[in-house]
Chains A and B, each alone.
Chain A
């Protein structure tokens, strides 16, 4: 039982390049989330998927797209990377996505945009 896994662990992009961050969970959770973590800013929600087939915007969705590929996998895409998207990205999952549901985090992807 690996929990929540993310790939890649590190990535360097040039401005304007695109990439997809991958996330998978093997806990049979219904809900999945993407956060970004910046120094002094805490964790901010980018997008979430309450259940397979649904996605919703979080606090900071601009410049990102997501795909809930199936119940296990939730990907985050940067179509045209910008230096402001340099951050550590965390994927998380929870059983049913309710407001009192515990979220479990992946190990993170450290992204640098030059």
Chain B
């Protein structure tokens, strides 16, 4: 099956700085790459996604880039705020979702 690796496992940034989380995947058949945010004790919630026919997608302060050749995709959060503090999961999908192991982001006020 698919293997998704996510780095870093923890990330601390100062408020207003940018944060970048990277994921790699192994199966070239994967064609959908969602990113989920999970606050402590809450359910995962979709924040942005990208399909394999697109290289980049942006939604306000959040952007995702995809490099199909290298099989990696990244989440970029600009102008970080304390409410961005959470665990972020990437996933890759071709017949089912395979999730990365998560990145705990802390934004320091």
Contacts and interface: CB of A to CB of B under 8 A. Distances in A.
Contact of B43 (A33, A40, A102, A108): A108
Interface residues of A, number: 21
Interface residues of B, number: 28
B83 to A, nearest CB: 19
Given A90-B43, A105-B43, A105-B44, A99 B99 contact: no
Residue among A43, A59, A104, A108 with max Cβ neighbours from chain B (10 Å): A43
A53 interface: no
A105 B51 contact: no
A43 B31 contact: no
Contacts of B9: 40
Contact of B101 (A42, A59, A101): A42
A99 B27 CA distance: 13
Given A107-B42, A108-B43, 6 more contacts: A42-B100, A43-B89, A43-B91, A99-B96, A100-B32, A104-B46
